[in-house]
Amino acid sequence: MKKSLFILVVLGIVSLVVTQSFATRALKVVADFDHKKGKIGTYRALVIGIQNYQDPKIPDLKTSLNDAKAVADILQDKYGFEVESLLDGSATRQIMYSKLRDLALKTKEEDSVLIYYAGHGDLDRQYDDGWWIPVDAEGGKPATYLDNIQIQKAMRNMKARHVLLISDSCYSGSLFGQARSMPSVINDKYYLNLYNEKSRWGLTSGNKTPVSDSGTGGNSIFAYQLIKKLRNNDKSFITTQEIYTDIAPIIANNSEQTPLCRPIRGTGDQGGEFVFVTAALKPIEQTVQENIANDDFGNNRQEISQERRSIERQKREIEIEKLKQERQKLALEKQKFDLERQKLEADKKKQFEELSTNNQYSKDNNGIVFDKKTRLEWFAGPNKNMAFSKARKWIKDLDINNRDWRLPTKKELQSIYKKGEGRSNCTPLLIDSDPWIVYTRDVHVENIYDVFYFANGLGTYARNPFHKVIAVRTRKL
């Protein structure tokens, strides 16, 4: 009894300490929405933009790189984010997966995380879920995609207070839970309440439908309106729903897509919302004076910036060189394939010419094979099985040098059977494939069909109503 009471007391103290600790971390006044005061934690952003896919079966996009770069710039310059970008070649499935895990590992409880994705998406209709398509994905192979479950797991396991996913891709709406409406009055209390509660939200360019990759100023319709709103915002802080409320009607009125803004299902949202906080900009005079006083610092920053651009340029050159090598390899493979195909066609032509001049059979330009021994003319039907009624109709409609074609008898078929000749135990001029089973004109009983097997040279009957057909007639003198 004493042990149980002791445990209850300890649990109560721990619960009180945790509650008080969390309460001390909550913002009490809107003046705390300031990156300099350190009360709102670090704002982090992972920006992914994929435009040029490695698999030719996946069409390239037009605006994804411009969209991702513009979003990264506005987040870093105006809203104080620490931004990491994955663009084109660096946005492989493995790297995207690793970066999401890294975010989940290094974010702290006071941080706010934004994940932006611009690229192809696809809908998993079997599981009613969705995928992002990495740059190294193989078209039509979902195992090479990044599914929404991984994104949800990353968001759910981040310690950050707020996580916002912005996705400008097809079928993004498969991530969402239930929507929440905005209040009629937006005041300081509204912003504080949203910030102090944990949130896991998404803002996407469309629902479970394709979205447009064209727009204005080199950006998609969705990205253009999002960037414009973030750039023109003159308030110290703004919520995701406020942004959505302004841009969604404009996008819907100018395209076939309707953006969505809701909590992400299964990620631990607790009623809060992501709040963008503008970084305080210094007066121009102060900036100039600081630059003069810290000229060496400015030079170092400039050198680092130049070095970064040089590295990015080298990375692009390496990717371009890899692409050139892949194209050269593909061209060589195509050239080899063309040579093999030409050789195969030449061999077939030679074989045809040799067979066309043998003693017993000849074949004219219309495809009619003439048996000089029996004076029968033969014409092979399509290399596919068909019902007996359709076989008879095919022969009736056959109009090659008159319409006097008919089904052959078993005896006539036996006359062209020769064990071991060609692939079908018959002159390849007539059948150049595996042995056929063909209809004969001998007596047919209901649901029983007289047929001839070129595999063994026997005539018999079959209940299977689907076989091949050959037409025959006697050449007139």
All domains in the chain, ordered by first residue: 26-287+304-319 (3.40.50.1460), 369-474 (3.10.100.10)
| CA distance linking residue 288 with residue 282, whole number of Å | 10
Tokens describing residue 350: 């030679």
For 4-13, 271-280, 400-409, which range has the lowest pLDDT when averaged over its residues? 4-13
CA angle 262, 268, 270 (to 5 degrees): 70
Beta bridge partners of 263: 201
For 141-145, 175-179, 293-297, 324-328, which range has the lowest pLDDT when averaged over its residues? 293-297
pLDDT of residue 178: 52
Q: Give residue 136's Cα distance to chain centre.
A: 10
State which amino acid sits at residue 148. N
| CA distance linking residue 309 with residue 317, whole number of Å | 12
Mean pLDDT (the chain) is: 82
State which amino acid sits at residue 322. K
| CA distance linking residue 97 with residue 428, whole number of Å | 57
Summarize pLDDT for 368-383 with one digit per residue, the tens: 999 999 999 999 999 9
pLDDT of residue 117: 95
| CA distance linking residue 389 with residue 155, whole number of Å | 63
User: Which comes out higher in pLDDT, residue 286 or 211?
Assistant: 211
Beta bridge partners of 280: none
Summarize pLDDT for 344-361 with one digit per residue, the tens: 888 776 666 555 445 899
**Is pLDDT at 250 greater than 60 in this prediction?**
yes
H helix intervals, 294-383: 295-356
Summarize pLDDT for 210-237 with one digit per residue, the tens: 555 556 778 899 999 999 999 999 988 8
Residue in this structure with the two tokens 């841009």, named with its chain if needed? 247
For 142-146, 207-211, 439-443, which range has the lowest pLDDT when averaged over its residues? 207-211
For 18-27, 394-403, 450-459, which range has the lowest pLDDT when averaged over its residues? 18-27
Summarize pLDDT for 121-142 with one digit per residue, the tens: 888 777 777 889 999 999 889 8
| CA distance linking residue 70 with residue 85, whole number of Å | 11
pLDDT of residue 87: 95
User: Which comes out higher in pLDDT, residue 391 or 22?
Assistant: 391
| CA distance linking residue 251 with residue 270, whole number of Å | 29
Question: 103, 154 in Cβ contact below 8 A?
Answer: yes
The band of 408, judged by pLDDT with boundaries at 50, 70 and 90, is very high
Q: What is the dihedral of CA 163, 166, 170, 173, to 10 degrees?
A: 50
Q: What pTM value is reported for the model?
A: 0.54
Tokens describing residue 184: 């009629």
**Is pLDDT at 406 greater than 60 in this prediction?**
yes
**Is pLDDT at 294 greater than 60 in this prediction?**
no
Three-class secondary structure of residue 61 per DSSP: coil
pLDDT of residue 127: 73
- Phi then psi dihedrals of residue 340, to 5 deg: -65, -40
Residue positions counted in the chain = 477
Tokens describing residue 473: 């007639």
For 290-304, 370-384, 403-417, which range has the lowest pLDDT when averaged over its residues? 290-304
State which amino acid sits at residue 266. G
| CA distance linking residue 231 with residue 278, whole number of Å | 10
**Is pLDDT at 2 greater than 70 in this prediction?**
no
Angle subtended by helix axes 93-106 and 148-157, to nearest 10: 20
Question: 58, 120 in Cβ contact below 8 A?
Answer: yes
